[in-house]
Amino acid sequence: MITKHEFGTLESESRKIYNYTMKNRGGMSVTVTEFGGAIVEIRVPDKFGRDTDVVGGYDSLRDYVLADGYLGALVGRVANRIAGGTFTLDGETHRLFRNNGKNSLHGGKVGWSHRVWAVKPEDGEEPKLTLTLHSPDGDEGYPGNMDVTVTYELLSNNALSIRYEATTDKRTPVNLTNHTYFNLGGYASGSIRDHVLQIEADTYLPTDADLIPTGEIRSVAGTPFDFREPKTIGRDMDADNADLKTAGGYDQCFNFTGGATKAPERRIIVYEPNSGRVLTVFTDQPCVQFYSGNFLDSAEFPMKGGLPRRKQTAFCLETQAMPDSVNHPNFTNTILNPNETYTHTVIYRFSVQQ
């Protein structure tokens, strides 16, 4: 089942913005807004059958427009940071808007997280929302006209599938992701340090003082970034480690063992003991940016219900290719050619453990 309701008015365009809520028979619902294609709510039962919202977000459209953090949003053309806000492609240097110090972050000044997406709902046993957007040549400094389609599908097994497709008429970088903030105890339940996390990744990317990858691909063995066996998020978060200190917690790219796959494979499992909720992540992407919500400390934009934003009360699992790949020849290829189609699938499946 899909319902549509008004969220607010986007003053800059004098247009109404709508939210769409998908529900299945398993007790799960997902709400998506036209603005930024953001996931504003995911409700799933816990081990006692209690229905709770497990993602961070805001009550008002205004906060999604003005606040930082990209809560729930679709980000592109290129997720994550690009060093110096520049890259060179086919001998031409492209300059991007620097919205993160001297670097470009999540698409620039007005990335796809702050655009209005066209939404086509399709009801049924497994309802879906097809979101589309056109990004013109030169958009935020990126070459080529790009058309992108993102399909949210609520599956009957209490999973949310997100599939991305994009085409271009000029060679251009593309690296899309979703920036939802999860707390499996419920978005208002406090710290995520006791969540138990497992990531099938044998290497990660160290970063510099600006959280830009240095170019090194480092083994997780013997480091706080080794999540190959389940451990709580907080166990090693305060370790004497330069990368953790720079980020104020986890904000690193983890490289899945074996790299990208042809079809989505299970790569991540998260368990929250109090609620019994389990989040299992399947993807075909080579990496995930695991972010432990280290900068969620602004008092200006409280979350839903007036909840103050507090750091490390939510985490992001942003499946993608390696960040800043356009400036590192040894990283994953993020260049899309004309007559090719970029594809990316991630599935977030919820279950309970008694």
Residues with catalytic roles: 179, 318
For 44-52, the CB contacts below 8 A with 24+ separation are 44/158, 44/277, 44/350, 45/352, 46/275, 46/276, 46/277, 46/352, 47/275, 47/276, 47/277, 47/352, 47/353, 47/354, 48/276, 51/27, 52/185, 52/186, 52/275
- 326 phi and psi angles, rounded to 5 deg: -65, -20
Q: How many residues does the chain have?
A: 354
For 208-212, the CB contacts below 8 A with 24+ separation are 208/246, 209/246, 210/81, 210/83, 210/100, 210/101, 210/102, 210/103, 211/81, 211/246, 211/247, 211/251, 212/81, 212/83, 212/103, 212/323, 212/324
- Quote the DSSP letter at residue 61: H
Q: Where are the alpha helices (DSSP H) in the chain?
A: 61-66, 242-247
Kind of pairing, strands 2-10 and 15-23?
antiparallel
